[in-house]
Structures are given as structure tokens and as C-alpha cells.
Amino acid sequence: MRREDLPAVVALAASVHAHHPERAEVFAERLALAPAGCLVLGEAVAGYALSHPWGLAGPPPLDSLLGTLPAAPESWHVHDIVVAPAARGRGLGGAALRALLAVAGGAGFRRASLVAIDGQAPRWARAGFVAATCADAAALASYGDRATWMTRALVPPQR
């Protein structure tokens, strides 16, 4: 992802996540803080992925600026993976998740985390994520009443 992609990414996010809006500044900050974890999927921004180092206690609140990344992050946090409706069914979302987990593993992370919104926990469970205890109930609640904090172990690369 590049800064030039941000208007298209923000527009796609607004169309797909109308009930979970985030300011353009949130996307720009994630890209500035963790560029390796921010991807554009397909051509003409058919989707995007945002991720960054974080902790395991709970997610950052929705639509919040981080300021800085944690000094001792415990997980690679998958903030969002979105595929435009017209581009679904081509494997872009799965490829994005695999790419993000490879970035995380390559950076030495042993765990990944995410928030499953709108009752999507079963979908993320198929990708190896399990529901976890969230120590920051207010942050989790900012994603809606059907949000689930989830984590998964990352398989270390074989040598």
C-alpha cells in the first residue's frame, strides 16, 4: 500500500464497513507505523489489508489513532482485511491473510490477533483463530456487540 492508495482504501472501507466507520487518518497512521503490514489487494484496489504490531490484552479501539506502536508488542494484529464485493471469490482475502502472517512470522512474532466483527468468529476460526479473553472490554465493545477478540499461534518457519 502507498499513500496514493489511501483515498480508494478509505472509500472501500466506508462502503463495506458502513457500521464500523474509521477516519482516513487511522488508515494513514497504520500505513506510516507498519507499512509492511498494509497491503492493496488486486488491481484498482480490489481490497486492502491493515495490520501492525500490538499486544494480546485487547484491540485498539475502533477509529483510534495509536500514536506509536508498543515498545514490546506481543502479537501481529490484523486490523482489517476487506475485499470489494465484485472481487470476492478469487482468494484475495485468504492470500492477504497468508501474506500478513508471513510478515508477522518473518518479524519474529509468535501470535496474531484480530477482532471478528458482526458474528464472523466462525469464519476466523477456520483460519486458526480462537476466541480469547479480552482485558479491554471498552475497546472490544467499540467494534459492536457481536465482536470477538481472537488470537492464533504462528507456525515458526522451518529451517
pLDDT at 43: 81
Task: For residue 159, tell me if it sits in a domain.
Answer: no
If pLDDT is split at 50, 70 and 90, which confidence band does 155 have?
confident
Give the percent of the chain with pLDDT over 70: 97
Is the pLDDT at 86 greater than 80? The verdict is yes
What is the total count of domains within the chain?
1
CATH number of the domain within which 48 lies: 3.40.630.30
Confirm whether pTM is higher than 0.75. Answer: yes
Average pLDDT, the chain: 95
Task: For residue 41, tell me if it sits in a domain.
Answer: yes
Task: For residue 67, tell me if it sits in a domain.
Answer: yes
Mean pLDDT of 61-80: 97
Domain that holds residue 57: 3-153
Task: For residue 10, tell me if it sits in a domain.
Answer: yes
Give the percent of the chain with pLDDT over 90: 94
Burial of 32 (0-12, 13-18, 19+ CB in 10 A): exposed
CB under 8 Å, gap of 24 or more: what pairs does 11-16 form?
12/45, 12/47, 12/48, 12/82, 12/84, 13/48, 13/80, 13/82, 15/84, 16/82, 16/84, 16/85
Task: For residue 142, tell me if it sits in a domain.
Answer: yes
Task: For residue 63, tell me if it sits in a domain.
Answer: yes
Mean pLDDT of 136-157: 92
If pLDDT is split at 50, 70 and 90, which confidence band does 157 have?
low
The residues, any chain, with a CB within 8 Å of residue 33's CB and separated by 6 or more, are 52, 66, 68, 69
Task: For residue 45, tell me if it sits in a domain.
Answer: yes
Task: For residue 158, tell me if it sits in a domain.
Answer: no
